[in-house]
């Protein structure tokens, strides 16, 4: 297999530095993506008013509900490519790459059709306030036109990360994001297009990012090189990707269902709270997306070490990622609480929106490390090839318990603090389950290795 300087050997050497170096570009990429999304909301909030801000923010959970199943398949791509790469099987890597691109193209067009057909009825079903409903529907219809590009980009980025290259996806997103911000200002401020302007800016930037990543895969000299004529579905690789990716996608989709229900409860308080929750949620996402970089690192490092049969290193990956979760929570979570009002003031100058946004952020940030635990540990478990367990933990600990909370506690005490308390309570329940799932999968991997005469080495692993 051809090894490129951008590839990282994840199966030997100290882990802490490698995990951090691997995660930082993903973190930067995620933060840039959030900054560009925040730019959408800041531009419409400042130049088109709080109703436009609420209209864009009200669509997030619904978009997630529609797209997460296929986006979850990119997790399957990352795991399978990483395992093939770690095992030194270039032909298997190539089959995984071409199958993944085929799946992403098919999935992207499918999601576009579903989104265009269902966005209006689902927004009305959620009880989206009448004063922002037309704008929300317009935003979603335009947004889904860019979904084929968004899907292929995410699968392409997963392929690059699987072989240790987390920098170029960040570079491509940076270029597309800068274009997005420029077009936001041009369309909204210059042409007065409001939410339609930020939607079209997003679509154009998505097609730019997918061009960059496909061009990269086409011109690389590695096993992940993309040959357009070979883009087809390999049945065996598709089943492998589905085995890992569908449970991950279902987890994301089920998680989005619970968020849709919470968004419906937020909608019941009116468009002011919708705007406040949208702005606060966008700020909180900067902490969450930083932790999500550790999830991607956990998937890739665990996957490659599983392929190389370096089982002891998986424990060290778990320890490093756990330490990074807590460090991120203390530093970034504290900063959000300290500078919360100023941050919300970037999105809107409405004092009522800022006050309501602070209520949400105080509740969320107090225990946000549980959200990180719930998010990162599934990466370790999936990297070992176990994807159903994390899905079940999310289904029961987060999705089901949020529904229970809304039907009982929130129904008895229908206040804003009680509504948002739903998040930390269910994060803690799901996070505990995810940790238990990791130890269950770890036990079975080691037992299987012992039975096959591949017992994990007893040497200590530097972290």
Cβ pair 233, 180 in contact under 8 A:
no
pLDDT value, residue 254: 73
Q: Using CA atoms, how far apart are residues 322 and 294, in angstroms rounded to an integer?
A: 9
Cβ pair 317, 301 in contact under 8 A:
yes
Token digits for 4? 């490129």
Question: Is the model's pTM score more than 0.95?
Answer: no
pLDDT value, residue 58: 63
Question: Could you list the pLDDT tens digit for every one of the 463 residues in the chain?
Answer: 444 445 555 666 678 878 888 788 777 777 766 666 666 667 766 656 666 666 676 666 667 666 776 777 787 788 788 888 877 888 888 998 999 899 899 988 988 998 899 888 888 887 777 777 888 888 889 988 998 998 899 899 889 888 878 788 888 988 988 898 889 888 888 888 888 888 899 899 999 999 999 999 999 877 889 998 898 988 888 888 888 887 777 777 777 777 778 888 888 888 889 888 888 988 888 888 888 888 888 888 888 888 777 888 888 889 999 999 999 999 999 999 999 999 998 888 889 989 999 999 999 999 899 998 988 898 899 888 887 888 888 888 888 899 899 999 999 999 999 999 999 999 999 999 999 999 998 888 888 877 776 544 433 333 4
Q: Using CA atoms, how far apart are residues 296 and 160, in angstroms rounded to an integer?
A: 12
Q: Using CA atoms, how far apart are residues 237 and 184, in angstroms rounded to an integer?
A: 40
Q: Using CA atoms, how far apart are residues 250 and 19, in angstroms rounded to an integer?
A: 27
Residue pointed to by tokens 């004529």? 229
pLDDT value, residue 438: 92
Alpha-carbon separation of residue 28 from 216, 291, 292 (angstroms): 19, 11, 11
Q: Using CA atoms, how far apart are residues 450 and 309, in angstroms rounded to an integer?
A: 12
Q: Write down the number of H helices and E strands in the chain.
A: 19, 0
pLDDT digits (tens, 9 = 90+) for 332-367: 999 999 999 999 988 888 899 899 999 999 999 998
Provide the 10 A C-beta neighbour count for residue 457: 12
pLDDT value, residue 214: 94
pLDDT value, residue 456: 44
pLDDT value, residue 11: 62
Dihedral over alpha carbons 290, 295, 296, 301 (to 10 degrees): 130
């Amino acid at each position: 297999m051809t090894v490129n300087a951008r590839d990282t050997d994840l199966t030997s050497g100290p882990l802490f530095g490698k995990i951090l170096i691997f995660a930082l570009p993903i973190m930067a990429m995620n933060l840039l993506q959030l900054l560009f999304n925040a730019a959408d909301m800041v531009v419409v909030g400042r130049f088109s008013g709080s109703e436009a801000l609420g209209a864009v923010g009200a669509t997030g959970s619904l978009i997630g509900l529609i797209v997460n199943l296929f986006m979850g398949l990119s997790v399957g791509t990352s795991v399978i490519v990483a395992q093939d790469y770690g095992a030194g099987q270039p032909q298997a890597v190539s089959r995984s790459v071409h199958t993944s691109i085929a799946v992403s193209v098919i999935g992207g067009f499918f999601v576009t059709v579903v989104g265009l057909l269902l966005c209006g009825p689902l927004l009305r079903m959620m009880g989206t306030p009448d004063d922002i409903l037309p704008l929300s529907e317009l935003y979603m219809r335009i947004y889904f036109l860019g979904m084929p590009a968004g899907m292929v980009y995410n699968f392409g980025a997963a392929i690059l990360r699987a072989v240790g290259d987390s920098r170029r996806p960040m570079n491509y997103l940076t270029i597309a994001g800068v274009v997005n911000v420029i077009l936001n200002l041009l369309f909204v401020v210059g042409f007065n297009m409001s939410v339609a302007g930020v939607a079209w800016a997003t679509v154009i930037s998505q097609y730019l990012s997918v061009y960059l990543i496909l061009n990269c895969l086409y011109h690389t000299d590695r096993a992940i090189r993309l040959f357009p004529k070979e883009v087809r579905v390999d049945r065996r690789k598709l089943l492998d990707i589905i085995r890992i990716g569908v449970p991950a996608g279902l987890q994301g989709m089920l998680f989005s269902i619970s968020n849709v229900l919470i968004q419906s409860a937020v909608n019941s308080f009116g468009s002011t709270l919708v705007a406040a929750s949208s702005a606060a949620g966008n700020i909180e996402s900067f902490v969450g997306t930083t932790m999500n970089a550790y999830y991607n690192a956990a998937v890739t490092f665990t996957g490659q070490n599983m392929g190389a049969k370096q089982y002891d290193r998986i424990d060290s990956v778990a320890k490093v990622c756990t330490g990074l979760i807590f460090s991120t929570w203390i530093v970034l979570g504290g900063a959000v609480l300290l500078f919360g009002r100023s941050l919300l003031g970037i999105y809107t100058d409405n004092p009522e929106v800022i006050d309501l946004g602070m209520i949400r952020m105080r509740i969320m940030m107090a225990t946000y490390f549980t959200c990180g635990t719930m998010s990162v540990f599934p990466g370790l478990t999936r990297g070992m090839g176990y994807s159903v367990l994390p899905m079940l933990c999310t289904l029961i600990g987060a999705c089901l318990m949020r529904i229970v909370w809304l039907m009982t506690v929130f129904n008895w005490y229908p206040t804003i603090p009680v509504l948002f308390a739903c998040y930390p309570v269910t994060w803690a329940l799901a996070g505990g389950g995810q940790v238990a799932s990791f130890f269950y999968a770890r036990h079975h991997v080691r037992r299987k290795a012992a039975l096959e005469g591949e017992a994990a080495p007893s040497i200590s692993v530097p972290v």
